[in-house]
């Protein structure tokens, strides 16, 4: 197993949560689902503080955010109308790198982030090289160079025929991603307890 996937596996085990959201890499060829370590399945009950931290790590590692990025996102989300936790995940889902990943053009958010940073994507025909760029509904994401459609990694990812979420339309012929709308609460990852994430950051403000 390549080192990257090994790290993802260990982090997923530690959190008991698939960091790729399809669950395959978390369970493939593995029988151990307890946390890493010899006595991982005999650990004591975690404190409230520890449980909050676990949920924060899920969001950070899943979307590839630094601690400061997530904290700033929380502060911005508190100023918006609606549920703060939902606002945080809505912003995470609206990131350019996340939408590229969600479309199925690439296998991981890490690769999506890398390609966005190198300017391989256009948003409404404008080159954007900021992974955290907030895409708005009705905006369209395209590969900047048509030749990228022949990339082996793109072809391999598309062969998996990943099911895209209902708030995205993906034209497989043109490799065009349309962000139809913001996701609703029921469409967020069920494995994340946003209440605990909010409790964690409320203590810091």
pLDDT in tens, 38-47: 555 555 677 8
Q: What is the pLDDT of residues 131-151, one digit of tens each?
A: 999 999 999 999 988 888 888
Q: What CATH number does the domain located at 3-88+190-202 have?
A: 1.10.1050.10
Fold of domain 95-181: 3.10.290
The segment(s) of the chain belonging to CATH 1.10.1050.10 are: 3-88+190-202
Beta bridge partners of 134: 95
Cα 120 → chain centroid: 19
* Residue 5 burial (CB count, 10 A): 13
The segment(s) of the chain belonging to CATH 3.10.290.10 are: 95-181
Assess whether pLDDT exceeds 90 at residue 27: no
Determine which helix (DSSP H) or strand (DSSP E) holds 170, and give its type and residue range. strand 168-171
Q: What is the pLDDT of residues 34-80, one digit of tens each?
A: 555 555 555 567 789 899 999 999 999 999 999 999 999 999 999 99
Cα(62)–Cα(59) distance, integer angstroms: 5
Cα(18)–Cα(9) distance, integer angstroms: 8
In this prediction, residue 113 carries a pLDDT of: 96
Tokens of 136: 């708005």
């Amino acid at each position: 197993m390549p080192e990257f996937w090994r790290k993802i596996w260990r982090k997923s085990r530690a959190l008991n949560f698939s960091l790729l959201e399809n669950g395959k890499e978390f369970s493939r060829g593995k029988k151990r689902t307890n946390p890493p370590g010899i006595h991982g399945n005999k650990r004591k009950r975690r404190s409230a503080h520890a449980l909050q931290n676990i949920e924060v790590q899920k969001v950070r590692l899943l979307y590839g955010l630094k601690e400061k990025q997530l904290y700033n996102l929380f502060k911005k989300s508190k100023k918006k109308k609606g549920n703060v936790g939902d606002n945080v995940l809505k912003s995470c889902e609206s990131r350019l790198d996340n939408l590229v990943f969600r479309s199925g053009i690439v296998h991981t958010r890490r690769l999506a982030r890398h390609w966005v940073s190198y300017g391989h994507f256009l948003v409404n025909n404008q080159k954007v090289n900021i992974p955290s760029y907030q895409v708005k509904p009705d905006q369209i994401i395209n590969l900047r160079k048509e030749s990228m459609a022949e990339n082996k990694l793109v072809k391999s990812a598309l062969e998996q025929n990943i099911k895209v979420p209902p708030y995205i339309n993906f034209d497989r012929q043109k490799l065009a991603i349309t962000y139809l709308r913001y996701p609703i609460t029921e469409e967020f990852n069920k494995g994340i307890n946003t209440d605990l994430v909010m409790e964690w950051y409320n203590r810091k403000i």
